[in-house]
Structure 1
Amino acid sequence: MSAKDYYEKDYYAALGVGKTATAAEIKKAYRKLARDLHPDKNPGDKKAEEKFKDVSEAYDVLSDDTKRKEYDEARALAASGAFRGFGGGQTPGGAGGFDLGDLFRNGGAQQGGAGGLGDLFGGLFNRGGGAAGGRATRARRGQDHETEVTLAFADSVRGVTVPLRISDRATCGTCHGTGARPGTAPRECPVCQGTGLTTRNQGSFAFSEPCANCGGSGSLIDDPCPTCHGERTVLETRTLTTRIPAGVSDGQRIRLAGKGGVGSNGGPNGDLFVVVHVAAHELFGRSGDNLTLTVPVSYPELVLGADLAVPTLDGTVTLRVPAGTASGRKLRVKGAGVQRKDRTGDLIVTVEVAVPQRIPEDAKVLLQQFADLVDTDPRPGITRAVETRTEAAS
């Protein structure tokens, strides 16, 4: 179909939906119309048959996000008057009929345009700006890959350089990626003439899809390479050394751009995603950029105060516990957490009283004497609540 026919058709009206209709709404409208207008339901009804084709054509475009975007842009250009004076009438300069399709061909720049409209509508009209004759094999991006690595707790905090062993497909060294035995070469696919694409017509539209005869490669291999057997690539195991940044957390995915599968026909490589697992530490925990540590202390240490020797990932520090410290209080060792370029975390130490399970009899006597001397209710609020409820019940 011509470009003029294309942008003048209102596919939204054909389906009876608005321009902001969702994919689900478009699908629902199409199914209803397709049932009502199907030729099997309307035998011999030419009008219904034509409407069925229009509905199918409209759904084919609007159900595809890329085609719908291109169609909307074409309609917007038409509404702005970008195509006024073209396509059947006279040009502003008084010349005869002007073929609007020229604007969409590779030679559009020769008509005074920049050729951008060819890029805009190339996917819909199969007139992409490829090499002459359209025989350039399409470049394909390599596949993304994923691998896993397990780090010690300290390495996850400080950062570490690790080797990653990756099994991946690489260009065959025997045939250098042609897939053919050395001394021979692939031949052009006779079905797609080397483009890797075949055209499927639907109504007034023509859509491209990978050629089934050559698998989209554009060529056929009569004498395959003995190493890769015509696959053009071989499976190789490689070692990649990468830096895991400081502060990585358990389950985090790190993206290494361009370190995935090799692209074909000049296409870019895929990405490699590294899933990090962090082993638990026997002493330390983690809360964001802060490390956490629970230190058991005795009751006298909390009451009288004490200097505690506390471990860090890099050594030992002395932490002062003030007299009268409550069990469960958190104390901070600044700068002993995760060290990033722009910030540094701390070590958060929680002191908890350790209650002995068994004590000698003379210690029990002394402890009772202490309780008698320090006759202070540690829970006055609860005591008052109990007394109030007791009085109310009596």
Structure 2
Amino acid sequence: MRDYYEILGVSRGCDEAALKSSFRKLAMEHHPDRNGGCEEAEGRFKEINEAYSILSDPQKRARYDQFGHAGVNGGGGGGPGSGQFHDVNDIFNEVFGDVFGDMFGGRRQRGGPARGQDLRYDLEISLEQAYAGSEVEIVVPASIQCEACDGSGAKPGTSPTVCGTCGGAGRVRASQGFFSVERACPRCGGSGQLILDPCVECRGHGQLRKERTLQVRIPAGVDDGARIRLAGEGDAGARGGPRGDLYIFLSVKPHELFDRDGLDLLCTVPVPMTVAALGGDIEAPCLMGGENCDGACKIEVKVPEGSQTGRTVRLKGRGMPSLRSRERGDLIVELFVETPTRLSARQKELMRELSDLCGEQQHPKSASFIGKAKRFWEEVTGV
């Protein structure tokens, strides 16, 4: 088992400041969140935490200096699985505080201002809105600072008093054998203050719940699952703390004509059998205007002669815009050859005449299939 001083890179006679400085540097370097979940970094991170949990405690450090690992294993924390994670969390709160505050949702100073909570709002938009971008009005229920008491929670003209139990720290510490456990003050709930005469408007909370109307700009090209952050539009902070943020999660409604594949738009368009056979022009829906596309969002598509169902025609630059560049996707039109129905007697007569005139050259796939099927039957039946 490695020496704890060696793990932290300090000498045995180092003071508390040097110990904390080395731990802070190493823990930030090997923190799993900064190393993409690397198992090696996670193992090193746990090793660093274990070493600091022992050496930062004067009693544990003295036992370790005298007896080595035997002096701390089992009696005051130590190896993996010994319940050290409570100590690790306490160490992190103490040592890193403001460094990791934003990463874990904000950390308030004891008894001081607290950052408001972040809010989530799920917003469903149409494909047209995602294509062109738009501005949407939303109504968000959020906490706001009480104007009557300026967020203090105390009746106007009065002020909160310092909690006598924790002395304003908001935390109390209790010793249990070799361990010292810190928890929120039960009397003031961790605020460090007591409100003896609460505000009538907010009933001592310092905040009120209210619906707020916001304008949200949807950028062109957003995709399903995109997230928009509105800084400072979340819940109000406690005791004058900053507001949290509002995160808007977008979902794009399914469209009755288009499917989306990245920046490309896919659309299946029926084509009359005669147009598919002879070639010609058809109209397809389009989300963008411009050349060869009128205000009704129709675009002309040239159908090659002899087109079959499933054939695609790609229209460059007619797809979705990109969020991060001027690039645009394509509109991919898939042709679906439609067989005519409810034919008149004359139409049926003409169709029979056409059928009699058409041979293998006009139906190459049918001829190929019949040949393969014939060989299959011969192999099976032996005839």
Spell out the pairing of 1:62-141 with structure 2 (5 A cutoff).
62=85, 65-66=88-89, 119=95, 137-141=111-115
Number of equivalent positions: 301
Matched, 1:350 2:373: no
2:123 to 139, 142, 149: 149
Considering only aligned residues, what root-mean-square deviation do their CA atoms show, in Å? 3.5
Q: Which residue of 2 aligns with 1:192?
A: 166
Matched, 1:228 2:251: no
Matched, 1:159 2:133: yes
- For 1:184 and 1:253, the matched residues in 2 are separated by 43
3-state SS of paired residue (1:54):
coil
Q: Which amino acid aligns with 1:305?
A: G
- Deviation by residue 1:37-79 (Cα, 9 ceiling, x = unmatched): xxxxxxxxxxxxx975424999453455545779xxxxxxxxx
Spell out the pairing of 1:187-266 with structure 2 (5 A cutoff).
187-266=161-240
2:345 to 361, 367, 374: 361
Spell out the pairing of 1:329-344 with structure 2 (5 A cutoff).
329-340=311-322, 341-342=324-325, 343-344=327-328
5+ residue gaps, structure 2, are: 1-12, 20-41, 47-71, 100-108, 289-296
- For 2:170 and 2:358, the matched residues in 1 are separated by 92
Q: Which residue of 2 aligns with 1:276?
A: 250
3-state SS of paired residue (1:379):
helix
Could you tell me how far 1:367 is from its partner in structure 2? 1.1
- For 2:88 and 2:125, the matched residues in 1 are separated by 42
Q: Which amino acid aligns with 1:335?
A: G
- Deviation by residue 1:200-224 (Cα, 9 ceiling, x = unmatched): 2233443432111001111111111
- For 2:79 and 2:275, the matched residues in 1 are separated by 83
How high is the TM-score relative to the length of structure 2? 0.69
Q: Which residue of 1 aligns with 2:307?
A: 325
- Deviation by residue 1:326-379 (Cα, 9 ceiling, x = unmatched): 221111222222123512112111111111232112212211211221111433
Indicate how the Cα distance of structure 1 residues 155 and 121 shifts in structure 2: closer, same or farther if over 3 A, else same: closer
Could you tell me how far 1:5 is from its partner in structure 2? 10
Q: Which residue of 2 aligns with 1:391?
A: 378
- For 1:336 and 1:385, the matched residues in 2 are separated by 41
Whether the 8 Å contact between 1:157 and 1:247 is mirrored in structure 2 is: yes
Could you tell me how far 1:277 is from its partner in structure 2? 3.4
3-state SS of paired residue (2:115):
coil
Q: Which residue of 2 aligns with 1:375?
A: 359
- For 1:284 and 1:245, the matched residues in 2 are separated by 20
- For 2:271 and 2:194, the matched residues in 1 are separated by 78
Q: Which amino acid aligns with 1:345?
A: G
Could you tell me how far 1:282 is from its partner in structure 2? 3.1
Could you tell me how far 1:265 is from its partner in structure 2? 3.9
Point out the structure with max Rg over C-alpha.
1
- Deviation by residue 1:145-195 (Cα, 9 ceiling, x = unmatched): 112223232112111111121111111100111111111111110000011
Could you tell me how far 1:296 is from its partner in structure 2? 0.6
3-state SS of paired residue (2:111):
coil
Q: Which residue of 2 aligns with 1:308?
A: 282
Indicate how the Cα distance of structure 1 residues 389 and 152 shifts in structure 2: closer, same or farther if over 3 A, else same: closer
Indicate how the Cα distance of structure 1 residues 165 and 64 shifts in structure 2: closer, same or farther if over 3 A, else same: farther
Whether the 8 Å contact between 1:53 and 1:203 is mirrored in structure 2 is: no
Indicate how the Cα distance of structure 1 residues 51 and 146 shifts in structure 2: closer, same or farther if over 3 A, else same: closer
Q: Which amino acid aligns with 2:321?
A: Q
Indicate how the Cα distance of structure 1 residues 142 and 384 shifts in structure 2: closer, same or farther if over 3 A, else same: same
- Fraction of identical pairs, as percent: 34
- For 1:353 and 1:175, the matched residues in 2 are separated by 72
Indicate how the Cα distance of structure 1 residues 290 and 298 shifts in structure 2: closer, same or farther if over 3 A, else same: same
Indicate how the Cα distance of structure 1 residues 57 and 225 shifts in structure 2: closer, same or farther if over 3 A, else same: farther
Indicate how the Cα distance of structure 1 residues 54 and 122 shifts in structure 2: closer, same or farther if over 3 A, else same: farther
3-state SS of paired residue (2:376):
helix
- For 1:3 and 1:201, the matched residues in 2 are separated by 26
- For 2:111 and 2:377, the matched residues in 1 are separated by 91
Indicate how the Cα distance of structure 1 residues 20 and 332 shifts in structure 2: closer, same or farther if over 3 A, else same: closer
5+ residue gaps, structure 1, are: 8-18, 24-49, 71-117, 124-134
How high is the TM-score relative to the length of structure 1? 0.67
- Deviation by residue 1:99-138 (Cα, 9 ceiling, x = unmatched): xxxxxxxxxxxxxxxxxxx956999xxxxxxxxxxx9634
Q: Which residue of 2 aligns with 1:54?
A: 76
Indicate how the Cα distance of structure 1 residues 363 and 64 shifts in structure 2: closer, same or farther if over 3 A, else same: farther
- For 2:161 and 2:113, the matched residues in 1 are separated by 19
